Structure 1
Amino acid sequence: MNYCQRFFFTMPSYSQEINVDLNSNEKNGYKDKNESRSEEVKYVTPDVEKSVPDGLNADQKLAFALRDFLKPSNPVLEDNDNDNDKDNPSPFALDQNLPYIDEHVDTENAPQSDEELHQCPETDEVLNNAACRLRRWRAASRKLRRPRIINNLSTKDEGSNANKNFHGGHTDLADRLRSLAAASSMSASAGELLSLAPPPSAATAPPSPGCLLSPTLSDQSAAEYFGSSPECCVDRGGFESSSSAGNPAPPPGPRYKLATEGTLRVCCFQHTRTVVDKILAAKFLRRWETHVLCLLEDNVISKTPSGLLESPLSYSCMQEVYCISRWDPARKYCLRIVMPHGSLLLQANDAYTRDQWYYSIIWRRNTIRYRNFLTKTVRKEVVLKELKNMVDFAMTTPLQDESVTRAPLQILTDLLSENKNSPDWEEWTENVTSLAAPLLTERGVNGELCALLARLCRRRPRSAPLPALAPPVRRVLTRNVDFGKAPDARRFVRDYISALSANNSGPSLVRRFVAVTHGERAICPHPRAAPNLAAVALAALDDHFRDYTSPHCCDESEHDVLCFADILEHMCEYEDWLVVVGAVLQPVPLCAGALGCARVCVRLARVLGALARDPRCAAHACLAAAHAARPCPPSWLRAAAPSDPLLALPHHQLAQLWGSMIGGLLNCCGKRKSFLQSMSKQLPDFLLVALTEHPAALEALCLMLEWEVVSGEQIQLEIIATLQGTELGQKYYKDLCERQQNLQKLQAEGGPRRLALPVRATDADVAALLEAGALGNLECLSLAFTAVTSNCAQHLIKLPSLRYLNLWATKFGDSGVQLIAEHLPHLQVLNLCETPISDKGIEALSGLSSLRRLNLNSTKLSAEAFEILRQRLPHLQEYDIRYTEAW
């Protein structure tokens, strides 16, 4: 008996009823009506069973016995397919071209004999893949639960056409099995499973059954979503990519908007399913009607209710919805909706419109089903199972619409809102949130859901599913959220951070959370992340200490408060976020209770120290406001003043912190007469810090004497006594006396009236020139085309008779211009052509009331700044503003 004879010898006759054993996971059998139920018809003969190698499990033995049928090229089926209609392949041939689970096996070089099969190193892997495919198909058959669909595999006819009818089979079954393959891992009825199947990628080809072999979300673990170390907030390339996080992704292809209205052709068949298939195969159709269909929340209606759509078409009455892929080319863009008493065909003009309506109908239908099922079912295990199916469905749909994003989250919100007062609500919410983790990763949570998740973090901080909550928290921080209008979102972020800190490794988790929010790049790609995170931290500190009438000092057990001060400190580790933190902290936004807590102040001191050490003006300038000594709201120079501090720190720490802030300002934008004048009210603080030999305070006192900022002999004597009270102060005072003697020699009458430096002159050359002799008569100085910078301004301000200054094509910037404007009020001509000054330095020129001629050619002058300058300089006669915005 040859191979083909053995094959047909084991097959049942066509008069038999074909039943599938739904209870066995290892065997499939055919049973005859006339034979005993216990008798089983095997697929293979004993000859084949004897050739099966030892050491294989039941599935592998069955796969080995059917290895010839699982190959892409089956000689038995190929011979019989020649007599069949190619558009209606046998259901047994559906698995011919299925790829293996892990890899594609080269069938041309595959071993043909049993000996070669034993010698092949990939034998076990191939058998395992084949066995897995058999189990998948058996699971798909069990979920159909419709014996009459299986009966349609063969007809009742016998005779010469039996072989052809057997291989011809049911045309519609191929489409349904392929659709079932896409949802084979979900637990639902046949119609529900078939409704989840994607349509074909092209109008003439059905979807590939290879998706049967792809894993689903239910097979993934929480560690695969977010990683395992640290467990709550590890970042694998960002949470924005669903594929990198292990979440199910939509099928490849175009994306669609949710269809609401459109013109389609409609045809209805009031026949059974088998008759419809015969009519479709014969390419015969009844009368078509054109309707403008509208997809509503509960049903489908026509704007012209007549004919076939005289009454609304409810989604609950739809048993199956799928695309007809193999049909007459003139009628190829069709959807089939199976109803209890017939079928309804919807024809579109193109494949894209057909797929859009298909996905839209499926979305409406399943959304209603999930909403009714999840909110009315009592058994929790069933609800969790259906919730997982809903998450898979929502994540894999190619629809992109606001309602598509909002509907699953609203169902999840309603599910969590039920029984909020029950004792097991926290445990129930933990299970639901863990299952809905992929949905929370890709969708922005609403206000009510934020409140529910925040409640879970407050009640169960140590057992809350923090990996599942990390993506929505990060999404709230990275989006442009107005916390004034969305207080629940801010509360959710706050409670999540408190839950992080409640773990045993809380401080490290909080640090890692800040690092993940910032990202691995040097600059955070989300500009709203830093302001939102800083606002959450400050609000949490203010809410905690607002009700304390007396000073309260936190202990280490109050981690839910100290973690927010830690967040401000961790944010200062990033250069781009340091500027943002400084801007948020200006002026002091904390209440007196928070500033009175020593543990909070220690962390704030580190933040202020980082701001003081930063060389950028945008960072350290936030330590002193426009009115640095104003009492309310205070600046940080006022809050940390050693004479009357608001920060609860020891005196020596306050002195070092305050001196560091002064030093950062004096080394950059604070070395100006106006700044020292504004700080004259805090002279006792300068004196106290100078006694600790802090260089910044000693330098500031020397500048007050040199620039005559303080008036009164008594105050000057106090400053001199303070400088002479320490060894380092005596050195500073000695240098001051030498500078004053040189200044007297420099300003003595004599020297040239005009002077021009060579092109290669630098700041050091200017300093050496001014120290060479008397230049009290110098009125005109040209530094054009030299390499001088703003650092030479401290030497230029020592020339009292200077009236003309030429700085053409130099690197003289805003800080130098501001210093000149304060110390040379009699300057009449100033040339700043092709210098890097901006509006900040140009506005300072309004203090030169004697200015007659001004050249701002090729600078960063704006029209607004020039209008303000003209109003403040009424004596300005000539000006050059060519090649600027004001020109």
Structure 2
Amino acid sequence: MPSDSQEINVDLNPNEHSAIKNETNDVKKEDVKYVASNGAPVGLNADQRIAFALRDFLVDGSPSMVLEDDGPSPSSTIDYKLPYIDEIGDTGSDIIQSDGEQPQNHETDEVLNNAACRLRRWRAASRKLRRPRIINNLNTNSDCNGLVKSFNAGHTDLADRLRSLAAASNMSASAGELLSLAPPPPAATAPPSPGCLLTPSLADQSAAEYFGSSPECCTDSSVSKSGNLTGTPAPPPGPRYKLAIEGSLRVCCFQHTRTVVDKILAAKFFRRWETHVLCMLDDHVISKTPSGLLERPLSYSCMQEVYCISRWDPARKYCLRIVMPHGSLLLQANDAYTRDQWYYSIVWRRNMIRYRNFLTKSVRREVVLKELKNMVDFAMTTPLQDESVTRAPLQILTDLISEEKESPGWEEWAENISSVAAPLLAERCVNGELCALLARLCRHRPRSAPLPALAPPVRRVLTRNVDFGKAPHARQFVKDYISALSAHNSGKSLVRRFVEVTHGSRAACPHPRAAPNLASVALAAIDDHYRERPTPHVCHDAEQDVLCFADILEHMCEYDDWLVVVGGVLQPVPFSVSAMSCPQVAARLGNVLNRLAHDPRCAVHTCVAHARAARPSPPSWLRATAPTDPLVALGHEQLCQLWGDMLKTLLSCCSKRKSFLQSMSKHLPDFVIVALTGHPAALEILCLMLEWEVASGEQTQLEIIAALQGTEVGKQYYRDLCERQQTLQRLQAQGGPRRLALPVRATDADVAALLEAGALGNLECLSLAFTSVTSACAYHLIKLPSLRYLNLWATKFGDSGVQLIAEHLPRLQVLNLCETPVSDKGIEALSGLSSLRRLNLNSTKLSAEAFELLRKRLPHLQEYDIRYTEAW
């Protein structure tokens, strides 16, 4: 073994990618004579020279491998000491050779070749595993050419591994065996960061290259190779730990730093062990009982090395070793999990202090960026999962970006930092101050901002439950990011792709907060831009910056699950008058309203009607798009078509009621204007106003008749109305049976034909039980003025039919809805039947809340059946 003063010259920069030729055949065995420990023979390649320089470590405990014929080597006469142990591997080989073992006898060239081969494999495995600390931790002194470094015997990390390899004789070590010999834990030194995939010109990239599939929103979609952050460092497999704060550990101290610790550990003898309750603070570790070995705080900055000890006595195997300037400290835990938790926690705090001091005090920016990448990799690969673990690196990043933010080159500096910290931003939630800085970067230089690096934190803000009232910087960050997207040449496609990635590839977005957050950001941006604008709109170039948010609302309507959210957000008409008077914004709003009007779901198309919590002006989109006095700057024909489509959807659903027509009676001029364009919905409503006597006054009725006769389609509607009135008069004439029951095969058409056959003015009891009638027959049932008893047992009568009956048959006393698909929506409408005495809701979708409300509104209800319902 080498002495303390002996130096070993090692070339650390051989050309590993070039083909290494075996030159041992050219060198004669008899010519290779080792006359000194540090004299290398001629004719060896780079790896063989390294192995020759470390030949004393190839066989454990052997001072010299080959002796001259004429006498011993001078190195064998030196009183060698055991090497200083830097760190002890916790996995892999547990072989400890004794001093009494004899060295292995090998031929010189075979030994050198085997050592060189093992060295190459170990170097390749170390490089592949991204563990530069295995070599970098050695004490090095660079030569003038920068290619050769001198290693003293203080650190024998590389030598220990070569000795372990040589102990395996001629057996070749695989990559897995080499991995087992590397003691540094995976989180102690992180692999290098892949950085952010950026190109010089964002305009040259397609929309898919800006955003890959989001790991949060589209987990099952195909991933774009250039869009997402491929190769992002991940924590090693295994358990996860909380950051250690306090715990009870046993402590033992050695008053030396470089001694034969492995021999002392193997001797099972120590001076003394003390039990302390240790507390980990931000800068040091203290004991709650500061006495004995831990009388003074243990500072992280004074720790030279921290590693686990596993090759030891089974009774004391859960230990950590902390190397200090004047001693070594052993911390013993009760189990391996606690030991690893304290190990990762100490390493975390120690590295965070080092990164904070270095990044805030260094002047050279290229050095700062390199160290920042190391910090990002370390934060991404640590197995610790704690809030402070997330907060500490982000705070360092925030402090780094906030420095000199008023200088002229701040934008470029912030871009470089954001690109390097892209993996950290993709996996951690950014704080408010960092959101403000990133928003400032997007606002000042939108076309050169690192958009792929900022996309993950923007999506994280949108998909998490964020209260923008308490986090205004987060909303500003999302707003400025979207503005930066639209500022590029392909801004429209980028904005569409952003909405697509945020939603995900599934039919329904997995994040319920994404749609409300995105819609609120878009509405706030539009309102901020048009709030102080004068009412007479004047187009200007600044409107191009805000049109992207109107595009977002339009793109959100392409998804069925988000259409419900957009309709609910837009129901109170949240736009100012100046915003709706802009033709470009109005065109996009027209497309949104068109999607809402043609959706068959009640929760969507009812959003265009009046809302209780709406603003006084305008109360609804029907009022904002009224053709007589429109607030939305659309063409006349487009307004009439849009307004008529809204009415058509409302009439085909559950709004075909007297109350809806009575509330719309003040819009009679609008109905007349739309009816003159031939829209069927307006013509039908005018006919219903006459048929149900909603329009009061002879002058109003004459205006409706004139509007119906103004077009050929309107004349046909008016002729059908006159025929229905004549049939109604015959139906309501005195005569006919009082009780009537239809057969099981009866349908809606049979009910209509029966009621048109003759007078049924005296019909009081009608039974349609077990027939195939639906809610469509309610339009004919409401023409029976004397109806008191109605049996709809086991039919397909739904909510819309019940609502129509409740408004037009106020004298109904007995109603049987047993085994029908009615729900709370239709049952609540029965509260208007003040004459109802008996009600059967057996086996319906009645809830307990709806039944309690119905009982309060119908105090005269005598009998009811709610069996097999939630209210039972």
Residue 498 of structure 2 aligns with an amino acid whose one-letter code is: F
How far the C-alpha of 1:282 sits from its partner, in A, is: 2.9
Partner residue of 2:766? 781
C-alpha distance in structure 2 between counterparts of 1:312 and 1:640, whole Å = 74
How far the C-alpha of 1:63 sits from its partner, in A, is: 9.3
In the alignment, which of 108, 119, 135 is matched to residue 141 of structure 1?
135
How far the C-alpha of 1:64 sits from its partner, in A, is: 9.5
How far the C-alpha of 1:231 sits from its partner, in A, is: 2.6
Partner residue of 1:749? 734
Partner residue of 1:232? 210
Q: Structure 1 residues 419, 134: closer, same or farther in 2, change over 3 A?
A: closer
Moved more, 465-474 or 242-251: 242-251
Partner residue of 2:694? 709
SS at match of 2:135: helix
Residue 550 of structure 1 aligns with an amino acid whose one-letter code is: T
Q: Where do residues 171-570 of structure 1 align in structure 2 (5 Å cutoff)?
A: 197-198=186-187, 216-218=192-194, 221-222=197-198, 229-235=207-213, 238=216, 245-554=230-539, 558-570=543-555
In the alignment, which of 19, 22, 25 is matched to residue 8 of structure 2?
19
In the alignment, which of 783, 791, 810 is matched to residue 806 of structure 1?
791
SS at match of 2:249: strand
In the alignment, which of 725, 737, 755 is matched to residue 740 of structure 1?
725
How far the C-alpha of 1:604 sits from its partner, in A, is: 0.1
C-alpha distance in structure 2 between counterparts of 1:843 and 1:666, whole Å = 19
CA contact (8 A) 1:228 1:234 kept: no
Partner residue of 1:612? 597
Residue 473 of structure 1 aligns with an amino acid whose one-letter code is: V
Residue 534 of structure 1 aligns with an amino acid whose one-letter code is: A
The reply to whether residue 670 of structure 1 matches residue 655 of structure 2 is: yes
Partner residue of 2:115? none
Deviations 1:513-533 (CA, angstroms, capped at 9, x unpaired): 000000000000000100110
Deviations 1:98-151 (CA, angstroms, capped at 9, x unpaired): 9xxxxxxxxxxxxxxxxxxxxxxxxxxx99988845877998434533566646
Q: Which sections of structure 2, spanning at least 5 residues, go unmatched?
A: 29-43, 53-57, 66-82, 94-117, 141-149, 169-177
CA contact (8 A) 1:48 1:65 kept: no
- The percent identity for this pair of structures is 72
Q: Where do residues 752-771 of structure 1 align in structure 2 (5 Å cutoff)?
A: 752-771=737-756
Q: Structure 1 residues 135, 867: closer, same or farther in 2, change over 3 A?
A: closer
Partner residue of 2:581? 596
Moved more, 438-447 or 546-555: 546-555
CA contact (8 A) 2:300 2:350 kept: yes
C-alpha distance in structure 2 between counterparts of 1:628 and 1:752, whole Å = 49
CA contact (8 A) 1:628 1:638 kept: no
Residue 680 of structure 2 aligns with an amino acid whose one-letter code is: P
- For this pair of structures, how many residues does the alignment match? 774
Residue 857 of structure 1 aligns with an amino acid whose one-letter code is: N
SS at match of 2:677: coil
SS at match of 1:558: helix
Residue 731 of structure 2 aligns with an amino acid whose one-letter code is: L
C-alpha distance in structure 1 between counterparts of 2:781 and 2:459, whole Å = 53
C-alpha distance in structure 1 between counterparts of 2:450 and 2:286, whole Å = 43
Q: Structure 1 residues 27, 706: closer, same or farther in 2, change over 3 A?
A: closer
C-alpha distance in structure 1 between counterparts of 2:50 and 2:327, whole Å = 40
Q: Structure with the greater relative contact order (CA < 8 A, sep ≥ 6): 1 or 2?
A: 2
How far the C-alpha of 1:706 sits from its partner, in A, is: 1.0
Q: Structure 1 residues 272, 491: closer, same or farther in 2, change over 3 A?
A: closer
How far the C-alpha of 1:221 sits from its partner, in A, is: 4.1
CA contact (8 A) 2:6 2:152 kept: no
TM-score by length of 2: 0.82
C-alpha distance in structure 1 between counterparts of 2:325 and 2:463, whole Å = 49
Partner residue of 1:39? none
The reply to whether residue 719 of structure 1 matches residue 719 of structure 2 is: no
Q: Which sections of structure 1, spanning at least 5 residues, go unmatched?
A: 1-11, 29-41, 51-60, 70-75, 99-125, 157-162, 169-176, 183-193, 200-210
C-alpha distance in structure 2 between counterparts of 1:155 and 1:844, whole Å = 84
Moved more, 764-773 or 327-336: 764-773
Partner residue of 1:3? none
Partner residue of 2:112? none
C-alpha distance in structure 2 between counterparts of 1:749 and 1:322, whole Å = 102
How far the C-alpha of 1:849 sits from its partner, in A, is: 1.3
Q: Structure 1 residues 198, 606: closer, same or farther in 2, change over 3 A?
A: closer
How far the C-alpha of 1:90 sits from its partner, in A, is: 12
CA contact (8 A) 1:596 1:646 kept: yes
CA contact (8 A) 1:498 1:559 kept: no
C-alpha distance in structure 1 between counterparts of 2:132 and 2:825, whole Å = 77
CA contact (8 A) 1:236 1:244 kept: no
In the alignment, which of 823, 845, 866 is matched to residue 808 of structure 2?
823
Residue 564 of structure 1 aligns with an amino acid whose one-letter code is: F
C-alpha distance in structure 2 between counterparts of 1:629 and 1:349, whole Å = 64
How far the C-alpha of 1:684 sits from its partner, in A, is: 0.5
CA contact (8 A) 1:240 1:442 kept: no
CA contact (8 A) 1:239 1:245 kept: no
TM-score by length of 1: 0.81
How far the C-alpha of 1:274 sits from its partner, in A, is: 2.6
CA contact (8 A) 2:516 2:565 kept: yes
C-alpha distance in structure 2 between counterparts of 1:544 and 1:739, whole Å = 54
Q: Structure 1 residues 803, 393: closer, same or farther in 2, change over 3 A?
A: same
Q: Structure 1 residues 14, 762: closer, same or farther in 2, change over 3 A?
A: same
Residue 413 of structure 2 aligns with an amino acid whose one-letter code is: W
CA contact (8 A) 1:537 1:565 kept: yes
Partner residue of 1:159? none
The reply to whether residue 864 of structure 1 matches residue 841 of structure 2 is: no
SS at match of 2:518: helix
The reply to whether residue 581 of structure 1 matches residue 566 of structure 2 is: yes
CA contact (8 A) 1:817 1:845 kept: yes
Q: Structure 1 residues 876, 308: closer, same or farther in 2, change over 3 A?
A: same
Residue 607 of structure 1 aligns with an amino acid whose one-letter code is: V
SS at match of 2:210: coil
Partner residue of 2:33? none
The reply to whether residue 685 of structure 1 matches residue 674 of structure 2 is: no
C-alpha distance in structure 1 between counterparts of 2:252 and 2:614, whole Å = 83
Q: Structure 1 residues 610, 294: closer, same or farther in 2, change over 3 A?
A: same
How far the C-alpha of 1:219 sits from its partner, in A, is: 7.0
C-alpha distance in structure 1 between counterparts of 2:165 and 2:514, whole Å = 66
C-alpha distance in structure 1 between counterparts of 2:763 and 2:377, whole Å = 83
C-alpha distance in structure 1 between counterparts of 2:609 and 2:485, whole Å = 34
CA contact (8 A) 2:196 2:422 kept: no
Residue 648 of structure 2 aligns with an amino acid whose one-letter code is: G
C-alpha distance in structure 1 between counterparts of 2:218 and 2:736, whole Å = 71
Q: Structure 1 residues 843, 257: closer, same or farther in 2, change over 3 A?
A: same
C-alpha distance in structure 1 between counterparts of 2:736 and 2:837, whole Å = 25
